[in-house]
Amino acid sequence: MGWMEELQSALAARGLAVASIPGKGRGLITTCDFAPGDVIIFQEPYASTPNKTSSGSSCDSCLASNDSRKCSACQVAWYCGTACQKSEWKIHQSECRALAALNEDRKKMLTSTIRLMVRLILRKQLQSEQVIPTSAMDNYDLVATLESHISEIDEKQLVLYAQMANLVNLVLPSLMIDLKETAHNFSKLSCNAHTICDGELRPLGTGLYPVISIINHSCVPNSVLVFENRVAFVRAMEPIAKGTEILISYIETAATTETRQKDLKQYFFVCTCSRCTKNPYEELEETATLEGYGCKDKKCSGFLIPDSGKQSFTCQQCGLSRDQQEIKKIACEIAQVLGKASNCLSSGHLSEGSTMYKIVEQLQLKLCHQYSLSLLQTRETLMKVLMELKDWKGALTYCRLTIPTYRRIYPATHPMLGLQYYACGKLEWLLEFTEDALKSFIKAADILRITHGTRTPFMKELLHKLEEAHAEVSYKLSASD
Ligand SMILES: C[S@@+](CC[C@H](N)C(=O)[O-])C[C@H]1O[C@@H](n2cnc3c(N)ncnc32)[C@H](O)[C@@H]1O
């Protein structure tokens, strides 16, 4: 059996198949039905690296950022303990020798992407020598057939990839690496590698998952990619019938079509999902809601579009008009205060910064649509700053204010919505608003059970908090009887 037949047979056992999708290249389709929360596929990375942090101390294996120690031989890799060090040893043994031989200047040039490529090449080498076993879902043939878009890459980028390939060659001089193939592989990483995130979707590193890389993008995906340590899991977010293409989102979907298309540029395709091809009126509505102005009548939730002379904007719901000069004046004020506010935060003046951000929020309330992304961003900043200042009540106020926008901009089972309910619940619990906390934990768990499963320490903690809140509410109820 060739590697492709082996892959198809391994996927068939999971109710999946690789298929050719018109206009998209390959894609992954279902051969059975999946329910929300079902794991469609999971995979270890072919190669992965932690992000470079300021302290450089994330574990190379599990990507955890606490209590890691530097490898004493190469002084480049970090491990959180012997279990992780042992699990990496087959690759790191060769890597360590190569890294230890580098002078300090060369070591400084080891970006996460260079290290990722070094590890990819070493894994290929060790698999060809049968030091590391291969399987239907773990072999270099899968990497070799990934999309590279090399013919569409501009000259400047090609030169950069060639320079990066040279650097990899300097790191691994004994392997006589193929420079052209390595430059090609850098291009593959750009449109196939995934950012590895923790349960709260904070980035930890980068990994290449050659089978998961067969999954195409949609701005209205039916599935979601999450990670347990560095193992990638794709879960169904909705019922998926047999014969449907599995689709995940490669980008932040809470954005206008223009922004999403810009963010997708590195993948060299124009998305034609239902959100990217909606009718012009709906398109206008989405953009004007996410980035535009609100109606002068604060009770009206209409969106505004500019009149033909662009001297004013008219609400599409109630017909009220807003003068462009008035809009400009508020926008100017916002820009000024926002500049000062962000300076305050970057210089560590949190209290002063929060006061400034509160002014920005009030100005944005006057100007922006209630579901605008800039208003959302300000409220999220306020929530984080107030949490740092241990002003839990203040933080909860802004957290609660973000929820209607999250509900508007994300689908009902999106992890970001679940995480925001969870944040709300934790603040409510801390403030002893037990019944509210219970409601928020229930909403968080209903979503995150689907997107994250129930096995991870992160989810176990949420479910434990939910149980605790449940017990407390029941106790209070029985005590008041
Ligand atoms: C991670 S790969 C996905 C698998 C890829 N189709 C293949 O044949 O290997 C990403 C590439 O797939 C293609 N792709 C992904 N989503 C697409 C979409 N919605 N429409 C068109 N092409 C898409 C683009 O060429 C993109 O660079």
Atom from ligand 1 closest to the CA of residue 273:
19
ipTM score over 0.90, yes or no = yes
* 380 touches 401 (CB < 8 A): no
**pLDDT at residue 57, rounded to an integer:** 78
Q: Number of helices (H) and strands (E) in the chain: give both, helices first.
A: 16, 15
Atom from ligand 1 closest to the CA of residue 268:
27
**Pairing relation of β-strands 216-217 and 247-248?**
parallel
What is the Cα–Cα distance from 344 to 357, expressed in whole angstroms?
10
**Pairing relation of β-strands 216-217 and 321-323?**
unpaired
Listed in order, strand segments (DSSP E) in 218-377 are 223-228, 231-236, 247-248, 304-306, 312-315, 321-323
**Which residues partner with 350 through β-bridges?**
none
CA of residue 124 to ligand 1 center, whole Å:
24
3-class SS at 368?
Answer: strand
pLDDT in tens, the chain (481 residues): 799 999 999 999 999 999 999 999 999 999 999 999 999 999 999 999 998 876 667 899 999 887 889 999 999 999 999 999 999 999 999 999 999 999 999 999 999 999 999 999 999 999 999 999 999 999 999 999 999 999 999 999 999 999 999 999 999 999 989 999 999 999 999 999 999 999 999 999 999 999 999 999 999 999 999 999 999 999 999 999 999 999 999 999 999 999 999 999 999 999 999 999 999 999 999 999 999 999 999 999 999 999 988 899 999 999 999 999 999 999 999 999 999 999 999 999 999 999 999 999 999 999 999 999 999 999 999 999 999 999 999 999 999 999 999 999 999 999 999 999 999 999 999 999 999 999 999 999 999 999 999 999 999 999 999 999 999 999 988 988 7
* 275 touches 219 (CB < 8 A): yes
Q: Which domains does the chain have, with CATH numbers?
A: 1-44+212-252 (2.170.270.10), 46-194 (no CATH), 278-397 (1.25.40), 410-481 (1.25.40.10)
**pLDDT at residue 310, rounded to an integer:** 80
- Residue whose CA lies nearest to ligand 1 atom number 4: 214
What is the Cα–Cα distance from 269 to 271, expressed in whole angstroms?
6
CA of residue 271 to ligand 1 center, whole Å:
10
Our mutation pick for probing the ligand 1 site, out of 43, 143, 147, counting the most ligand atoms within 8 A of Cβ, is 147
Atom from ligand 1 closest to the CA of residue 217:
16
- Residues within a 6 A CB radius of ligand 1: 23-27, 146-147, 149, 191-192, 213-214, 216-218, 267-269, 271
CA of residue 331 to ligand 1 center, whole Å:
39
**pLDDT at residue 55, rounded to an integer:** 64
* 71-74-75-78 Cα dihedral, nearest 10 degrees: -40
What is the Cα–Cα distance from 64 to 59, expressed in whole angstroms?
5
User: Distance of alpha carbon 341 from its chain centroid, rounded?
Assistant: 27
What is the Cα–Cα distance from 142 to 14, expressed in whole angstroms?
18
- Residue whose CA lies nearest to ligand 1 atom number 7: 26
**pLDDT at residue 187, rounded to an integer:** 97
Residues in the chain, overall count = 481
- Residue whose CA lies nearest to ligand 1 atom number 21: 24
What does the block give as tokens for 23?
A: 């206009």
**pLDDT at residue 219, rounded to an integer:** 98
3-class SS at 147?
Answer: coil
How many C-beta atoms surround the C-beta of residue 49 within 10 A?
28
Q: Which helix (H) or strand (E) holds 353?
A: helix 350-367
What is the Cα–Cα distance from 301 to 162, expressed in whole angstroms?
53
Listed residue (106, 94, 176, 191) closest to 146, CA to CA: 191
Q: Is 478 exposed, middle or buried (0-12, 13-18, 19+ CB in 10 A)?
A: exposed
Atom from ligand 1 closest to the CA of residue 145:
9
**Which residues partner with 226 through β-bridges?**
233
The pTM score is 0.95
**pLDDT at residue 130, rounded to an integer:** 96
**pLDDT at residue 370, rounded to an integer:** 96
**Pairing relation of β-strands 78-79 and 312-315?**
unpaired
Atom from ligand 1 closest to the CA of residue 267:
27
Residue type, 465: K
Our mutation pick for probing the ligand 1 site, out of 264, 267, 273, 275, counting the most ligand atoms within 8 A of Cβ, is 267
Give Cα separations from 47 to 19, 108, 143, 185, 347 (angstroms): 25, 21, 10, 12, 38
Query: Which tens digit of pLDDT belongs to each residue from 5-64?
Result: 999 999 999 999 999 999 999 999 999 999 999 999 999 999 999 988 766 678 999 998
What is the Cα–Cα distance from 60 to 328, expressed in whole angstroms?
50
End-to-end CA distance of the chain: 70
3-class SS at 112?
Answer: helix
Q: Please enumerate in sequence order all residues whose Cβ is within 8 A of that of 170, keeping only pairs 6 or more positions apart, or say none.
A: 102, 106
* 94-95-96-97 Cα dihedral, nearest 10 degrees: 50
**pLDDT at residue 56, rounded to an integer:** 64
